[in-house]
A and B are shown apart, each in its own frame.
Chain A
C-alpha cells in the first residue's frame, strides 16, 4: 500500500517578539509520518503542541519552513493547482457554530461547494448529490432545508459539516477537534461517523484531538505530539494500552475516568509553553518523572520498539 500523505521532516518556525528581542519557536519540529488509504490517523497532545499547525500546513494555510509534504508523491508546496488539492482534501473544524455563518442558511454552503468545484450542472442533480451525502451522515435535505445554523443542534450541525466536506469525494479528511464542542450525549454519533467514512467510503481521516479515549475508540494509528515533536507513534492499541514515553503515560493517566472508584491522582505541575519550547534537550525533561541527566542536554533520537517509535532516552541502548 502506498501512503496517500507523507510528511518528511516537516518543520515550522514562528518568530515572536519585537524588532530587537526576537525568539524563535519551533512549533513543529522535524515531524515525519504517513497516512495510509482508508486509515484513521490521530494526532494527539495538549494544547500548544503543534498539532493544529501541522493540520494547517497540510491544508495549505501555512507554508512549512522546512521539510516536505507529499500527497501521492507530489510535493504540496510546489503544487500550483490549489483547487484540485482542495477537492481531495477537506476539513472539518472544531466548533460547528463558528464553521457556519449564523446569518446564512446551512444548505447554501452545500450549493456553494458544488458550484465552486463544478460538481454538477443541474439543480436537480445537485440536490440528489446533497441528499446522498446527507443520508450518509444520518440527515436528510428536509432536515436542513431553509434552516439557519442556530436552529440545529451542535451534533446535527457537525454532521452537516462532515456531509459538506464529503461532497467532493475527498480521499483525506482533516478533522481538528471535531467533537470537543459537541454535547456529550451526541458526541458518539459524530465519532462513529468517522469510522463509517473510512470503512464504507475509503476516506482517510487525520483526527486531531486531546481526547485519548475517543482516539482509542476510532483510530488505527496514533502519534502523540509534545511541543512540536512526535514523541511516540504507532498502532493505537499498542501506544495506548502499553505506553512507553513518560508523556504518553501522563496523558493517559490524566483522562478523567468515568468511574468514581478510581483513587485520586498524584498532583502534577504545568510549565508555561514558551519555556518548554525553548528548552535544550528533551522538551519534556522539565516535568518528566523519570528524568535523567542526559535528558537536559541532548535531544533524544527516535527509537523503534516493536512497531512503535519512541523519542526518549529511557529506551536508548
Chain B
C-alpha cells in the first residue's frame, strides 16, 4: 500500500424498496483502487456507471439508500491508515475540508441563492478555524481568492450575479480554502463552454501545484483527462475496467471500451467517420453476467459471458480487466 487513499474491494449498493419488493442497484461493485499522492487522478466513465457513488464512498458519505456491502476505504493521515468508513460523525466532520474536500456537481446549487457568497465562505471558516474573529476570517478568504487569481470582490455578490464559469471557480476555491490533502471534484466542467472550462481546469492545476495535494477528477470528457490528469481509471457498470498512467492509456488503450472512448472523439483536421459504442449502457439493477461490457463488445470471446475478469497487470502500472488481454498481454502491445 503506497497511496494516499486505498480502496479495497468496495461494494456499495443502493437498496430500494418498492411495493414490498427489494431492488439493489450495484453502483460500485468490487472496486479496488489506490490513489497516489500529489497527482491529479482522473476517473472516466459515462453517466450511470457509478462514478459519483464511488466519490461518495471516497468521501465516506454512505447514507441510505446507499449501503455498504463490503470492502474498505482508508485514508493515509500522518503515515497511518485510518478506516474512513468506520469513523463516527464527529471524526468525519473534523477531517472534512481540512483533510478531504468535495466539489459537488452543478455549481448552481452549491451556494445558497439568497445569501451573499461571503456568508457561505464565513460558514465554512467559522466551523473549521478556531479562535479567529469574523473580520480576520473574511480577510483570510479574500487573501485566498487573490492568491488564486480571482477577484475578492465576488464575495460581495450573490451567486446568480456571476457567470457559470466564475461560480464554479468560486466553488473550487472554496474547496481548497483549508488546503486539504485530497479534493474530490465531480464533473466540475459539465455545462460550461470551452473557454470557461479552460479557466476552471487552469485553476485546478494551479491549486494542485500550489498545495501539492491530490485532486480526484471525475468527468466523462476524455479530452479533459488527457489535458490535466497524470493517472486515470476507466469505470464501466460499477467496475473499474482499466487503470494506468494517462499517457499510456491514450497511447495504448487495452480495454475495448477505452478504445471506443478514445477513438470516437472528433478532432479538428480529421473528417474520418467516427463511430460510437454500439448498444446502450447496461442497467445497474440487473448488470450483464460475466464481463459487464460483453453485450456491446466487438471482440467478444467464450469466457466473457460467464466469468468476470479481474484487473490484471499488463505492464507495471497499467492494469486492465479483460479476458482478451489475459495471456496475450506480452505479444499484443
Contacts and interface: CB of A to CB of B under 8 A. Distances in A.
Nearest to A269: B199
Interface in B243-273: 246-247, 250, 257, 260-262, 264-269, 271, 273
Interface string A71-83: 0000000000000
Contact of B280 (A155, A180, A273): A155
B226 A187 contact: no
A265 B276 contact: no
A71 B117 CA distance: 47
A260 B226 contact: yes
Interface string A268-291: 111011000000000000000000
A116 interface: no
A308 to B, nearest CB: 16
B46 interface: yes
Most chain B CB within a 10 A radius of its CB, from A48, A211, A258 = A258
Interface stretch (B28-36, B160-168, B174-182, B323-331): B160-168
Interface of A: 45-48, 152-156, 180, 183-189, 191-192, 210-214, 216-217, 240-241, 250-252, 254-262, 264-265, 267-270, 272-273
25 contacts: A46-B194, A47-B193, A47-B196, A153-B281, A155-B280, A156-B280, A186-B46, A186-B281, A191-B274, A192-B273, A212-B268, A213-B266, A213-B268, A255-B268, A256-B198, A256-B223, A258-B250, A258-B262, A258-B265, A260-B246, A265-B202, A267-B202, A268-B202, A270-B199, A272-B163
B163 A48 contact: yes
Contacts of A180: 191
Given A191-B274, A265-B202, A270-B196, 20 more contacts: A47-B164, A47-B196, A185-B264, A186-B276, A189-B275, A192-B274, A210-B194, A211-B194, A213-B267, A216-B267, A216-B271, A217-B266, A251-B194, A255-B268, A256-B227, A259-B226, A260-B246, A267-B149, A268-B198, A268-B202
B266 A257 contact: no
Most chain A CB within a 10 A radius of its CB, from B47, B266, B274 = B266
Contacts of B46: 183-186
B274 A188 contact: yes
Interface string B214-226: 0000001111101
Contacts of B266: 188, 191, 213-214, 216-217
Contact of B276 (A187, A240, A255): A187
A188 B205 CA distance: 29
A255 B194 contact: yes
Contact of A188 (B202, B221, B224, B275): B275
Interface string B282-319: 00000000000000000000000000000000000000
B280 A153 contact: yes
A154 B47 contact: yes
B15 to A, nearest CB: 19
B235 to A, nearest CB: 12
B230 to A, nearest CB: 9
B193 A260 contact: no
A107 to B, nearest CB: 18
Contacts of B16: none
